Amino acid sequence: MDYVSLGRTGVKVSPLCLGAMNFGAWGNPDHDDSIRIIHRALDAGINLIDTADVYSHGESEEIVGKALADGRREDVVLATKAHAPMGEGANRRGNSRRWIVREVENSLRRLGTDHIDLYQIHRPDPDTHVDETLGALTDLVRDGKIRYAGCSTFPAHLIVESHWVAEQRMRERFVTEQPPYSILTRGIEADVLPAAAKYGMGVLPWSPLSGGWLSGKYRRGRETPDTHRVKFSPVDRFDPAEPGNARKLDAVEELVQLAGEAGITLVDLALAFVLSHPAVTSPIIGPRTMEQLESQLGAADIELDAATLDRIDEIVPPGTTVNPADAGWTPPELARKELRRKR
C-alpha cells in the first residue's frame, strides 16, 4: 500500500484503517478468528487499527491486544476512544478529566500496551468544557500514555472551538477527526471536512459502507438481515418503511447499476468514493468475517473517474445526508425542546 500522512503529525498510515468494532460480542465472538482477520489485514499492509472502550464493553480492545502480542505492536498505529458509558455510575462516561485519566489506564490494560498512539474523544459532551478535556489529554501526552489526541463525530463549530482553546490555553490539539462519511451520508462535506482541512487534521471516516447499506445487503424486495447492528440500532436507521431509508433503497439501486457499469463491486465504489475526497486520510473498514475483509482490501487501488463521481453527485447531491438519522450525533439543541423555547 502507498502510505499517507496522518494530518500534520508526520506519522504515515495505510489508506485503509482496520476498525475493530465487530470483534467481540457485537459481531464476531470468536477471538481466534478475529485475530486471524487482524493478522491478515496487517499482512496486507494496513498499519492503522481503530477500536474503542465501549465496543463489546472492552472485549474488542482485549482482542486487538491479543493480536498485537506477537511482536507486531511496534509497527501498528493504535487508536482507541473514550466517552460512552462503561458502567452504571454517573461518572463512568463522558469527557471529564476524572473519567479520561481513569479510562485510558483501563484501555492500556486491555490493549496490553504502554501507550496509545491516537486517543480519541468518541463524541462531544455538552456538560464538559473542551478545555477540561484537552487539559487531561495534554497531561496524558506529557506522561507518555498517549501520543496524539483526536475527536470523533464533532460538528465543525466544536472542532474550531477546540483549536481556539488549544491555542489560547497551550493545550494539545485534536490532530484527527473521525466523522461518519459515505455516499449516503455526505453532510460533513459542507463544514466538517473543510474545517479539518483548514486545521491540517487527519480524517478517518467511520461507516464508509453506511452501516452495510452499501455492501449490497439491503436491497428492495429483500428481507432486512437480522444482524446485531439492525437489532440494536434505532428503528429509523434500518426500517425500510422509514422515509429516509426508502430514499436510501432508491439510491442503492442506482449505485448498484453504476458500479456494474464501472466494472467494480458496490463495496469498491463506496470505499473508492470516500477515498477520493482530498480531505480524507483513511476510511475505517469494519469487517466481521475474513470474507468481508478480503472484499474491501482492493478498494485502495481503485480510482474513480470524473464521470463516475459526477454520476454519484447526481444520485446523492454533495453535502446531503439521505437519512438524517445517520448523522452520528444529535446536538442537544435539537434533541431537547426546552433548549429551543423561552421559559
State the pairing for strand pair 116-121/77-82: parallel
Nearest to 46 by CA among 15, 11, 7: 15
Query: How far from 70 is each of 6, 151, 215, 331, CA to CA, in Å?
Result: 25, 29, 32, 42
Cell of 24: 467481540
Q: Which pLDDT does position 219 carry in this prediction?
A: 84
pLDDT class of 149 with cuts at 50, 70, 90: very high
Q: What pLDDT does 218 receive? A: 81
Question: Percent of the chain having pLDDT more than 90?
Answer: 90
Q: Is the pLDDT of residue 222 over 90?
A: no
Whole-number pLDDT of residue 343: 79
Distance (Å, rounded) from C-alpha 205 to C-alpha 19?
10
Residue 300 has pLDDT above 60, yes or no: yes
Classify residue 204 as exposed, middle or buried by CB count within 10 Å of its CB (0-12, 13-18, 19+): buried
**pLDDT score of 235 more than 70:** no
Region 317-327: mean pLDDT is 96
Q: What is the pLDDT of residues 163-189, one digit of tens each?
A: 999 999 999 999 999 999 999 999 999
Q: What's the rounded Cα separation, in Å, for the pair 153 and 176?
A: 11
Question: DSSP assignment of 210-272, as one string?
Answer: GGGGGGT-S-TTSPPP--HHHHHS-HHHH-TTSHHHHHHHHHHHHHHHHHHHHTS-HHHHHHH
Summarize the confidence of residues 127-143 as an average pLDDT: 98
User: What single letter denotes the amino acid at residue 203?
Assistant: V
Residue 253 is predicted with a pLDDT of 97
The domain limits of the chain are 4-339
| pLDDT of the residue at 1 | 79
Q: Which three cell numbers stand for residue 42?
A: 496487517
The DSSP 8-state label assigned to residue 288 in this structure reads S
Active site (catalytic) residues: 55
Provide the pLDDT for residue 312.
Answer: 98
Residue 112 pLDDT: 98
Query: Do β-strands 4-5 and 12-13 pair in parallel, antiparallel, or remain unpaired?
Result: antiparallel
Q: What is the CATH number of domain 4-339?
A: 3.20.20.100
Q: What is the pLDDT of residue 225?
A: 66
* pLDDT, mean of residues 50-68: 98
Instruction: Pick the closest to residue 128 from 163, 93, 103 (CA basis).
Output: 93
Check pLDDT > 60 for residue 114.
yes
Poorest-pLDDT segment among 4-8, 15-19, 68-72, 156-160:
68-72
pLDDT computed for residue 217 by the predictor: 86
Q: How confident is the model at residue 234 (pLDDT cuts 50, 70, 90)?
A: low
Q: What's the whole-number mean pLDDT along residues 45-51?
A: 98
Average pLDDT over residues 221-244: 71
Asked if 16 and 294 count as a contact pair (C-beta separation under 8 A), the reply is no
Q: How far apart are CA 153 and CA 329, in angstroms?
A: 7
Q: Which residue has the higher pLDDT, 229 or 270?
A: 270
326 three-state secondary structure: helix
**How far is 60 from 57, CA to CA, in rounded Å?**
8
Report the range of poorest mean pLDDT among 39-48, 88-97, 210-219, 305-314.
210-219
The per-residue pLDDT for 70 is 86
Average pLDDT over the chain reads 95
pLDDT greater than 90 at residue 102: yes
